[in-house]
Amino acid sequence: MSGQGDERVDFGFRDVPRGDKARLVRGVFDSVAPRYDLMNDLMSLGVHRLWKAALVRALRPRPGMALLDVAGGTGDIAVAAAKAGAQATVVDINEDMAGAGRDRAFDRGCLEVGWAVGDAEALPFPDMSQDAVTVAFGLRNVTGREKALAEMRRVLKPGGRFFCMEFSQVEAPALRALYERYAFGVLPRLGALVAGDADAYRYLAESIARFPDREALAASMRAAGFGQVRWSILSGGVVALHRGWRL
């Protein structure tokens, strides 16, 4: 009988020992942090801003709302929510990403966002302390997704809302074929040219391909205790926005 130390998890198309994934993911984001926002604009042709705006509209931030943005990177969601009056905090396991986000928020004149370095599988926040929790394009990088989902539910107040935005499965066959050629052909070259790291963006494409489909993610959310789970798709299925409640 194999123990947890023998368990393997996905890191892109590779299966690696469970204990190695966090270190490998950290290396990816250490490498790309300085050019992360520029690469997001280039590789999505700016559409990532529309996707995140859709998340913020669904979130409906309001003055006094306690929002935790998990794996929040450079803080796009938290900054937008803070501008609407929410008490927003970004937590990210990667210090370089959190630092880049904090600097960027200061440059934009947004001093209201809180920043914390922490693991999605062990969030450094009390039980039932948040009105809403978001995770945008970060869940696929977490080693123990089920544990992270349970943690995000734990910190929600009863009646609190959870939103997960992730890359998903393109529905139209012709668009799917074009998307796959772009993801596996163009993205690594763009990553090499702009961020100096083709492997990081090859991992990005592979991690998207291996991430659970929409039904499977919804089932994981229900298993973690979320109620009224549903999702909507954006850009023909390139991205899906899942949502649920702590009832």
Per-residue model confidence (pLDDT) at position 32: 85
Q: Is 66 part of a structural domain of the chain?
A: yes
Residue type for position 54: A
Is 226 in contact with 245 (CB distance < 8 Å)? yes
Distance between CA atoms of residues 162 and 22, nearest Å: 23
Q: Is 193 part of a structural domain of the chain?
A: no
Q: Is 58 part of a structural domain of the chain?
A: yes
User: H helices within the chain, ranges in order?
Assistant: 18-32, 36-44, 47-59, 76-83, 95-107, 145-154, 173-181, 187-190, 198-210, 214-223
Per-residue model confidence (pLDDT) at position 107: 84
Per-residue model confidence (pLDDT) at position 2: 42
Strands 227-234 and 239-245: antiparallel
Residue type for position 196: G
Distance between CA atoms of residues 55 and 103, nearest Å: 23
Mean pLDDT per 10-residue section of the chain, whose length is 247 residues? 68 95 90 85 92 97 98 92 96 90 86 93 98 97 96 98 97 93 93 91 94 97 98 97 97
Q: Is 185 part of a structural domain of the chain?
A: no
Burial of 161 from C-beta contacts in 10 A (0-12 / 13-18 / 19+) = buried
Per-residue model confidence (pLDDT) at position 142: 96
Per-residue model confidence (pLDDT) at position 85: 96
Is 131 in contact with 157 (CB distance < 8 Å)? yes
pTM, entire model: 0.92
Q: Is 105 part of a structural domain of the chain?
A: yes
Q: Is 145 part of a structural domain of the chain?
A: yes
* Buried b or exposed e, range 187-213, using 16+ CB within 10 angstroms: bbebbeeebebeebbbbbbbbbeebbe
In terms of residue numbers, what domain contains 73?
Answer: 4-169+212-245
Q: Is 27 part of a structural domain of the chain?
A: yes
Q: Is 199 part of a structural domain of the chain?
A: no
Number of structural domains in the chain: 1
Q: Look up the CATH number of the domain holding residue 36.
A: 3.40.50.150
